[in-house]
Structure 1
Amino acid sequence: MESLFNTYTRRIKSVRLNFYRYLYSRIDWNDRLIAIKGARGVGKTTLILQHIKNDFPDLRKALYVSLDNLWFSTNSLARLADYHYTHGGTHLFLDEVHRYPDWQTAIKNLYDDYPDLHIVYTGSSMLEIDHKQGDLSRRQIVYTLAGMSFREYLKFEGIADIPRVDIKTLLQKHMSIASSVTESVRILPLFEKYLRQGYYPFYKDTFQGYGMRLQDVARQVIEADMPAVDDIQFSTIRKVRKMLMILAGRVPHTPKMAELYRELETTREQGLKMLYSLERGGLLSLLSYEPKNYRNLSRPDKIYLENPNLMYALSERVDKGTLRETFFYNQVSAVEEVLLATKGDFLVGRNMLFEVGGRNKSFDQIKDEPDSYLAIDDVEVGYGNKIPLWMFGLLY
């Protein structure tokens, strides 16, 4: 057990406090049971380590452990929690919770058996936390951490600290906001850099190996996280890998699912499960004209990679139009419901219609539609209902 405490103190000492993700200030750390969901690599571990370093002068009151540690091969979470509690511990922070067998029951028991113990847990696999939420749903508060927005990237780089704006304010005041930003910042070259590498905070630590690191993230989601959720065979893992790479080369993909299933030598049911697992693992985005119903999986109407950085890491050729649409959906869907639109590209909040394109894009396709807007790339400042694409990265 001493090794766990040594690892904990090393992690706390090394964590940096010069930048905080948007979610940090939104979490009510006083709640007894907190879940933080998010894709691999978006910064969940750093978030909780920063909280411990800031709010626990006496580090013995808190304990951080990653549940994929080999110590848990022969020891239980219950034993660790009891030792921590009986030695004066008040807060337990559990990382990679999906790597612990029957984690939901284990956490439920801790919650019930230690009424004044505060528990925070994270899970890289969004699928597992959603799938097994039932027994904990009445007890826990759930937060979701997205990857870095363009606004956060600018702050992380020390370039600009732009206040977050909601989408309605953006639509109304985009000209004045853009003018104030671009007075001192050449925004378009920075936007291009962000699209290539800036969504995952670890980009600063990887230098020229960022693309390879993203490929490794995808591999870990498929080979480590998904088997932790379901008892799947190695042959299925190979099919999921193949599915991801096929779709990465075809996005945006309007699925002919029967052809894809034949190519993967799988059934419709298994194919849909693999597809939605890739979405919840933070690797794909599945769009439809109607809201998703995860209890009744259906064929999506369009498929994208989850964010522009993944496009550069997994695709041999990055199409500019697809890159723009991927960015728009990725950033806006973190704060608003986004559906495919029968006219234009995206329907936001059920009433705002958006067409995404380059600087010469016209209103022809949506000219007669109410509450319609253009999200335009390659411009610093917009006009009227033409809004610079980069500004949709200011929403969180």
Structure 2
Amino acid sequence: MEAFYRTHNYLLEHTASPVRRQLMDEINWNDRLIGIKGSRGVGKTTFLLEYAREFYGCNNKECLYINLNHFYFTERSLVDFVAEFRAKGGKVLLIDQVFKYPDWSRELRYCYDNYPDVRIVFSGSSVMRLKEENPDLSGCVKSYNLRGFSFREYINLMVGTSFPSFTLDEILKDHVEIAERICSEVKPMAFLHDYLHHGYYPFFLEKRNFSENLLKTMNMMLEVDVLYIKQIEQSYLPKLRKLLYLLAISAPCVPNVSQLSKEIETSRATVMNYIKYLTDARLMNMLYPEGDSFPKKPAKVYMNNTNLMYPIRPMAVNHQALRETFFYNVVHKDNKLNVGMKNTHFLVERQHQFKIEESLKGKTNPDIFYAVEKVEIGYENVIPLWLFGFLY
């Protein structure tokens, strides 16, 4: 146990979050079992450690971070560890890499039922379905999603500002005033291109080649987050990788499932399942007409975020695809998106039609909102594209 406390304190002293994540304030930390999901590379470990630092500080044995990837847990049960932690005054256990431990959901449920004075916060892959696939946790786990940096968080990090986030309704109603207030302190458009290229994943701050690091992360998403967690045979990895490549080089696109099934030599149903796995891993996004959902074929598939578009085709990234992907990624967090109608790109919350444009020429339609890249401060129903990056 003491060795884990030493590791905990070392990590708190040497791991710092470059910017405070908004999710920290969205979680009800009084819940006794909290699951934090997120794709590989978005900073789940750092987030857990930042919580420990902010609420407990170093050398406080009431809170402990552990990684279930540790060999110690090959012979010691999690239940026994929690019992010892509790006996020594422990109150909050932060568990990383929970899926590496066999029967983890059953043992977490046992701890929840038998140690009501211990709160457990665990991290997991975005591929995990905590409630649907783990009936042991039904009714007791509160699940949250940690995303990559928003454009707002990126600007706060790069400039040292502390801009708040805004709801979609606030932006639609007050976008001119909000944009004027932000632009009085910083020029957001000067940062947008860099964010689209490398600002989503926190590891862009590391002194390593970002594109190579992201390619490695993408492969790990496939090999661990999809194959390992979904228990798919390793021999199917080349098919998954090829499918991701074929979709990525044409996204956003209407997927030709019959053609894709020929290309990767598998059935149409398997192609659809693979696309769902890629979506769960936060590599792709699926867009449906209103009223449709999986397992139906999506109307379009997008890359999950714009950073993913560059490593696969660094010299041929389509700028309109970038704009649409950025909008989908940031608006999708708290709002429902469907295929737009009447020459629009997106229907948001079943009521707002959006067109995503580089610039505007000619008259606008009063029934449509325009998210425009080359507009710093908008007017009426014309809203700067960058401002949607302040939704979280």
TM-score, normalised via structure 1 length: 0.93
Check the 8 A contact 1:63/1:91 in 2, yes or no: yes
The alpha-carbon distance between structure 1 residues 132 and 206, as it changes in their structure 2 partners (threshold 3 A), is: farther
Distance 1:362 1:328 in 2: 23
User: Which residue in 2 is equivalent to 1:70?
Assistant: 71
User: Which residue in 2 is equivalent to 1:332?
Assistant: 331
Q: Which runs of 5+ in 2 are unaligned?
A: none
User: Which residue in 1 is equivalent to 2:300?
Assistant: 302
User: Which residue in 2 is equivalent to 1:82?
Assistant: 83
Q: Does 1:100 align with 2:101?
A: yes
Farther-moved stretch of structure 1 (320-329 vs 209-218)? 209-218
The alpha-carbon distance between structure 1 residues 31 and 385, as it changes in their structure 2 partners (threshold 3 A), is: same
User: Which residue in 1 is equivalent to 2:373?
Assistant: 377
Residue 121 of structure 1: how far off its partner (Å): 0.8
Check the 8 A contact 2:227/2:234 in 1, yes or no: no
AA in 2 matched with 1:394: F
User: Which residue in 1 is equivalent to 2:149?
Assistant: 148
Secondary structure of the residue that 1:129 maps to in structure 2? coil
Farther-moved stretch of structure 1 (128-137 vs 340-349)? 128-137
- 1:159-188, CA deviations, whole angstroms, 9 ceiling, x for partnerless residues? 432221111221122122222222332221
Distance 1:334 1:263 in 2: 32
Residue 375 of structure 1: how far off its partner (Å): 0.5
Distance 2:386 2:246 in 1: 29
AA in 2 matched with 1:152: E
Distance 2:70 2:318 in 1: 41
Check the 8 A contact 2:155/2:161 in 1, yes or no: yes
Residue 130 of structure 1: how far off its partner (Å): 5.3
Distance 2:386 2:87 in 1: 52
Check the 8 A contact 2:155/2:188 in 1, yes or no: no
Q: Does 1:323 align with 2:319?
A: no
Residue 74 of structure 1: how far off its partner (Å): 3.2
Check the 8 A contact 2:131/2:137 in 1, yes or no: no
Distance 1:90 1:211 in 2: 40
Distance 1:39 1:119 in 2: 20
User: Which residue in 1 is equivalent to 2:355?
Assistant: 355
Map 1:52-71 to 2 at 5 A. 52-57=52-57, 58-71=59-72
The alpha-carbon distance between structure 1 residues 302 and 202, as it changes in their structure 2 partners (threshold 3 A), is: same
AA in 2 matched with 1:378: K
Residue 247 of structure 1: how far off its partner (Å): 1.1
Q: Which runs of 5+ in 1 are unaligned?
A: none
Q: Does 1:243 align with 2:243?
A: yes
Map 1:278-293 to 2 at 5 A. 278-290=278-290, 293=293
AA in 1 matched with 2:353: L
Farther-moved stretch of structure 1 (64-73 vs 298-307)? 64-73
| Percent of residue pairs identical | 34
Distance 1:303 1:339 in 2: 12
Check the 8 A contact 2:95/2:120 in 1, yes or no: yes
Secondary structure of the residue that 1:127 maps to in structure 2? coil
Check the 8 A contact 1:359/1:379 in 2, yes or no: yes
User: Which residue in 2 is equivalent to 1:387?
Assistant: 383
The alpha-carbon distance between structure 1 residues 160 and 60, as it changes in their structure 2 partners (threshold 3 A), is: closer
Distance 1:53 1:103 in 2: 26
Residue 61 of structure 1: how far off its partner (Å): 1.4
Residue 319 of structure 1: how far off its partner (Å): 0.1
Residue 9 of structure 1: how far off its partner (Å): 2.0
Check the 8 A contact 1:363/1:374 in 2, yes or no: no
Secondary structure of the residue that 1:391 maps to in structure 2? helix
Check the 8 A contact 1:361/1:376 in 2, yes or no: no
Distance 2:291 2:79 in 1: 40
User: Which residue in 2 is equivalent to 1:275?
Assistant: 275
The alpha-carbon distance between structure 1 residues 203 and 362, as it changes in their structure 2 partners (threshold 3 A), is: farther
- 1:258-312, CA deviations, whole angstroms, 9 ceiling, x for partnerless residues? 1001101111222111111110111101111135645xx2211101110011111
Distance 1:127 1:142 in 2: 11
TM-score, normalised via structure 2 length: 0.93
